[in-house]
Structure 1
Amino acid sequence: MGEEMNQEMTEFKSFEIGDVVTGKVSKVEEKHASVDVGFKIDGVLPISELSSLHVEKVSDVLSEGDEIEVKVIKVSEDELVLSKKAVEADKAWDALQEKYENSVAFDVEIADVVKGGLVVDLGVRGFIPASLVERHYVEDFSDYKGKNLSVKIVEFDPEKAKVILSHRAVLEQEADHKKQETLASLQAGQVVEGTVQRLTDFGAFVDIGGVDGLVHISQMAHHRVETPSEVVSEGQQVNVKILSVDRDNERISLSIKETLPGPWEEVKGSLNTGDEIEGTVKRLVSFGAFVEVAPGVEGLVHISEISNKHIGTPQEVLSEGETVRVKVLDVNLDEKRISLSIKVLETEQVSNEVEEYQKESDGNSPFSLGDMIGDQLKKYK
């Protein structure tokens, strides 16, 4: 009998700490599982040795009959303690080391959302800090649990069991790749669509496919622009013309003005001989005054057409920035010339006043219209 028992005993396997073996789950308790690995007693797999992540109860991970690979972490005549987590970690570190050294991007599933970031199971615990999840600020990460993200390892220290991951690094690499493709494809003279990213005192930065170009304030409109916000707003879609591309320094000069109809084209059909309009005196010269009658469109009031009274210089009766009413004498849009008159309107105003006077006097005035206009005009000489 004794010999039979000894023979039976020799059939049991012997183990040392560090041995990796395959066993079958024989029993599942709330905080541990029993595993038959061929030892004289079943080994104990504590809940803390199940996974690199937190486990609420063993039955969430294991069922009776499951075949699992475990590592021996403690052994004696009457005790065998096993770890599933240690086996997974051993396998994981080598693979992660290779991914880290080669800066490889790989997909992970978010296992949990914790304070400060996201947790993933890599065979070891991996952590994505909140600032390394997206390129933009995220207020609430609650819907990230269970989501798949492509990540890179940015910090790796097996001794401290530290694996820091970044999804943002993958996004930035993709954005840089797209940027380089865009830079290579852009040519001066192209008209493309873009999105206004931000405004500055000197212009607007516009995204034209992963790369920002600058629309200088002088290229925003045909008329003078004081601040870019007069013309565009952040997030607005705009057409821009590429003026120049500096690929080495990643600088692109753009123009909104070049995509717009010229100011002289815009007044075609809306400005005609005989029109009475309001304008702004822009420049005074010895021979007259240039008056802006539409954004970027100036006409000339010759000195002889400024006033009915004799003047030596336009400055005697006009000042730059002043608003005046003018009459269009002639329009030549092809040659970008408009002749204007202030004097004609003054004369017409006097004529209208005299006509009104005559109507009110029922024709009993002893003066003719010519006489009265002549008397009025003497005031301007």
Structure 2
Amino acid sequence: METENMTNITEEISVEEAPTAAEAPEAAETPVATEAAEAPVVGESAETPEVVETMEDYSKELEASFRKISEGDILSGTVIHVNEEEVTLDLDYFAPGVIKAADLSRDPSFSILADVHVGDKMQGTVIKRDDGAGNILLSCVEASEVIGWDKVQTYLEEKTVLSVKVSETVNKGVIAFVEGIRGFIPASQISLEYVEDLSTFVGKTVDVRVITVDKDKKKLVLSAKDILKEREADRMNQKIAMMAPGTVLEGKVESLMPYGAFVDLGGGLSGLVHISQISQKRIKNPSEVLNVGDTVKVKVLNTNNNKISLSMKAVAENAEPDPVEEKLAAEYSSGKSVGTSLGDLLKGLKL
């Protein structure tokens, strides 16, 4: 009896510990699935490389930490923001720079929104290291007093051509600003000709050179006239270069000299007829055959050194009728045969 009971107990224990048919495959697959999850995916690195930061990555921050900014320093920066009240600069420093509109320029024609753009490079003098909002307060006006005069001195020495905008008229001239410095253009230096109404230049851009710099007296004088003269001379030289020797032109005698006559050819051009080229006969003075204002025909001899040499004598020689051509023309107009021999043509002519 006891033996039968023990047999039953053993069978019950065996049945409880043995896995069922549904559980057996799951148990067998579990280790395989774990290995697959741990294995790296084909094409991917088993480990993500660690990013190593160097001192170069912090070079700007390190440089900025060693910079010492004091009031009065002149700093350069890039414009990163502009509005009607101020300009913000990136100074490559922990704090940005701010320039108020009133500290940007003394030029009355200056417009913060029109004349300043993001990306522009600007310089300013440090007024305050902290404006209360963590910004460095700068002034372009004060900077121009320090660096502007050095720049205009360089412009004077190098004869640099500058484009400036005329802002206002004053007694005997107009005003234009260069590097934030008020410059004076005398009325006699703004044009090649006399200008009665200088107000016509206000708001216009003109090319000038610096002709006077006096930092102590804060005197800056500009001139547009020299540049205009040079450009006019270049234009005239181009015209002269295009004139072909042998060309016959008409002009007016504008002046008489002992050595010849100057003839106005129009368009700003004039040339010299040497006394030996005025007449076929020998004369002692051009006034013997010419008067100022006379209209004359001249032939271009040459244009050497951008000077026009003319001859009235050459025109007169070419204008004289050839005896043979004159008789041929007469016979043709009378209806006679033009089959005349050379002897007949020359017959009756006094050679």
Q: TM-score, normalised by structure 1?
A: 0.45
Larger radius of gyration: 2
Structure number having the greater strand percentage: 1
